[in-house]
Amino acid sequence: MARMPQQDLSEDAESGSAGTGLLLITLGLMAIGVVMVHSALAGVGGQTGKWYARVDFRQTLFAIMGVLAMLAVWRFDYRLFARGKFLPVLATILLVCSLGLALLVYVPGVGHSVGGYKRWIRFNAGGLPMQFQPSELVKIFLIIWLAAWLSQRGPRIGSFFRTFAPACGVIGLCLGLLATQDFGTATIIGVSACAVMFIAGVPLYYFATLIPPAAAAFYMLVVQHPMRWARITAMADVWSQSNPSAYQPRESLLAILSGGWFGKGVGNGVIKLGYLPEDSTDFVFAIFCEEWGFVGAVLLAGLFVAWLLLARRAANGSSDPFGRLLAGSLAFMVGIQAVIHVGVDVGALPATGLNLPFVSAGGTSVILLACAAAMIASVAHRAARLRQAQRRAQEEQELRRQFILQEMQAIKMDVSAGSPGAENESSPGESEAAESPPELDLPMASPPEQTEEFIVQPALSFMSYNASFKSGGPVDAADSKDSSGKSAFQTSAA
């Protein structure tokens, strides 16, 4: 049998290993997050109260829920998000529901304020106080909706009024609901949404039209907001004693620098002992560097780089436009959020309130990001299964082709050996008088790219001709079958 191209095998292995590796790295990052949240919260006095009131215990529970959600979503057919004639139905429903929940944070008694910002919805579930952040839902579902909708546009993807303007309208609606209360998440959503459109093929110069509204929003939401503007100025001088907003970046830098090469050991950090607020969320990377050192920070960064490379391989290996766009967009969102978090902790960016994906404390973020990783893995595994099915079909077609060629060669040998001229060699006169069999134009081995019908039909015709020639007369379709009702070709194949 002809040897199959080795490239398909390597592509299948790469896609399958990309999805598996992505899930394994996600599990590793979530395990590191559980350890670091427990370590960061082991501060002065520790945590007291019932188990569900303790952030470290809740983070362990959220990590377990994230693993279960990841295993469930991994088996989910992501293409269901994109089904719909004019709009992706499921993706649209999820986005509308997330926007409705984002509106509930403004309802008195429903929305919960933390640090002066209304970002949470609090409720009781079986007597347990629970809360979640709707902006995380909007962030994930907007990317899914954009990827599903843009993958359906086809040639219209380059249209400004039919594609770019409607997409910007939906993005603007989402940002308008979130920007005043959660500017950091709104920034991630805006940048990630632009990345989705760019990956989908929207012309780059269209994005120049977004500069004026983005500048106006920055002026109103940052420059005119005293606390946010103070964070911008603190970024320029983190050692300033006159700017209260420089306190957290300064303590974060001290934690990173005091870690040295190999850190102080897990649980032995000092900055977390009441010196650095939000040590388990916004500045968990600084606590990690203090306890694991520069080497640990490089290893953690390496895990994120490996995660992004595997996600990129999963996106490039998908033949489905929606799968490719979905995997690439979700990977970009996770990557840009990790970069901004590290940039804030090292003092290169102003404090934004963004957590480190999979590591920082927060149930909504951990569970939804685990689902995002599972969707990327689903894209990778489906692409691998599709290529395996195509390769098996090619192998079966090649086997059939080789079998037919072997049968044709056997028939040719039978014709040559059993011709009337060979049977009557003892009587030269009769041999000369006998009609020699006509020359047969045997079909040569066709190249693999020709269709199966092109090969099978000449073979069946030739076998019928051979039977007719040996019997000395034409052979009917009924005579060509044996007692079981099978044709000669079917009997030979069996």
The DSSP-derived string for 233-299 is: HHHH-TT-SS-GGGHHHHHHHHHHHHTTTT-S-TT--STTTTTSTTTTTTTHHHHHHHHHHHHHHHH
Domain endpoint, select from 327, 357, 390:
390
Pair 371, 453 in one domain:
no
User: Higher pLDDT residue, 5 or 26?
Assistant: 26
Query: In whole angstroms, how far apart are CA 148 and each of 35, 69, 142, 316, 351?
Result: 36, 21, 10, 17, 33
Same structural domain, 485 and 347: no
Is 344 in the same domain as 450?
no
What is the mean predicted confidence (pLDDT) over 15-21?
Answer: 77
Q: Is the pLDDT of residue 313 over 50?
A: yes
Q: What's residue 299's pLDDT? A: 96
Give residues with Cβ within 8 angstroms of 455, minimum separation 6: 401, 404, 405, 443, 446
Helices (H), 111-246: 134-151, 165-178, 183-200, 211-218, 226-236
Examine residue 409 and state whether it is found in any structural domain, yes or no.
Answer: no
Look at residue 407 in the predicted model and tell me its pLDDT.
78
> Which residues have C-beta within 8 Å of that of residue 286, sequence separation ≥ 6?
251, 252, 253, 255, 256, 271, 276, 279, 345
Whether 431 is in a domain gets the answer no
Predicted local distance difference test score (pLDDT) of residue 44:
55
Say if residue 197's pLDDT is above 50.
Answer: yes
Report the range of poorest mean pLDDT among 38-52, 108-122, 311-325, 355-369. 38-52
| pLDDT at residue 473 in the model | 44
Model pLDDT for residues 71-84, shown as the tens digit of each residue:
999 888 899 999 98
Judge whether 428 lies within some domain.
no
User: Does residue 398 belong to any structural domain of this protein?
Assistant: no
State the residue range of the domain holding 22.
8-390
- Residue 471, judged by CB atoms within 10 A of its CB (0-12, 13-18, 19+), counts as exposed
Domain boundary among 352, 370, 390: 390
pLDDT at 441 over 80: no
> How would residue 474 be classed by pLDDT, with cut points 50, 70 and 90?
very low
Closest CA to 187 of 66, 302, 339, 311: 339
> Of 39-53, 238-252, 338-352, where does mean pLDDT reach its minimum?
39-53
Residue 215 is predicted with a pLDDT of 95
pLDDT at 415: 78
The yes-or-no verdict on residue 232 having pLDDT over 60 is: yes
Bridge partner residues of 123 (DSSP): 130
Distance of CA 394 to the CA centre of its chain: 27
Residue predicted with more confidence, 351 or 9: 351
Give the pLDDT score at 432. 44
More confident call, 104 vs 473: 104
Residue 47 reports pLDDT greater than 50? yes
Q: Which residue has the higher pLDDT, 407 or 472?
A: 407
Q: Quick one: 350 and 272 in the same domain?
A: yes
Quick one: average pLDDT of 439-460?
46
> What does each C-alpha distance from 61 to 27, 56, 362 come to in angstroms?
14, 9, 11
Looking at the fold, whether 205 and 354 belong to one and the same domain comes out as yes
Residue 420 lies in a domain: no
In a domain, residue 423? The reply is no
Q: Which two tokens stand for residue 186?
A: 């709104």
Distance CA 111, CA 104 (A): 6
Please count the structural domains in the chain: 2
Which letter, b or e, does each residue of 219-256 get, where b requires 16 or more Cβ atoms within 10 Å of its Cβ? Answer: eebeeeeeebebbeebbeebeeeebebbbbbbbbbbbb
Same structural domain for residues 386 and 447? no
pLDDT over threshold 50, residue 428: no
pLDDT at 14: 55
What type of residue is 147? A
Last residue of a domain, which of 390, 407, 430?
A: 390
Q: Does 435 reside within a domain?
A: no
Please choose, from the candidates 216, 195, 63, 192, the residue with its C-alpha nearest in 3D space to the C-alpha of residue 135. 192
Q: Comparing 440 with 222, which gets the higher pLDDT?
A: 222
**Do residue 101 and residue 35 come from a single domain?**
yes
Residue 167 pLDDT exceeds 90: yes
Q: Is residue 401 pLDDT above 90, yes or no? A: no
Q: Is the pLDDT of residue 481 over 90?
A: no
Better pLDDT: 470 or 263: 263
Does the residue 298 lie in any domain? yes
- Is residue 49 domain-shared with residue 167, that is, in the same domain? yes
Residues 184, 266, single domain; the answer is: yes
Q: Is the pLDDT of residue 438 over 70?
A: no
Q: Kindly write down the DSSP assignment for every residue of 380-447, as one continuous string.
A: HHHHHHHHHHHHHHHHHHHHHHHHHHHHHHHHHHHHHHT-HHHHTTT-HHHHHHSPPPPPP-PPPPPP
* Same domain? 447 vs 383: no
One domain, residues 33 and 116: yes
Q: Average pLDDT of 372-386?
A: 87
Are residue 313 and residue 231 in the same domain, yes or no? yes
Range from 101-105, 271-275, 368-372 carrying the lowest mean pLDDT? 271-275
pLDDT above 60 (res 157): yes
* Rounded mean pLDDT, 431-451: 45
The mean predicted confidence, pLDDT, of the chain is 80
- pLDDT at residue number 109: 80
- Give the pLDDT score at 15: 54
Q: Is the pLDDT of residue 180 over 50?
A: yes
What is the pLDDT at residue 3?
35
Cα separation, 249 vs 257, in Å, equals: 12
Q: If pLDDT is split at 50, 70 and 90, which confidence band does 107 have?
A: confident
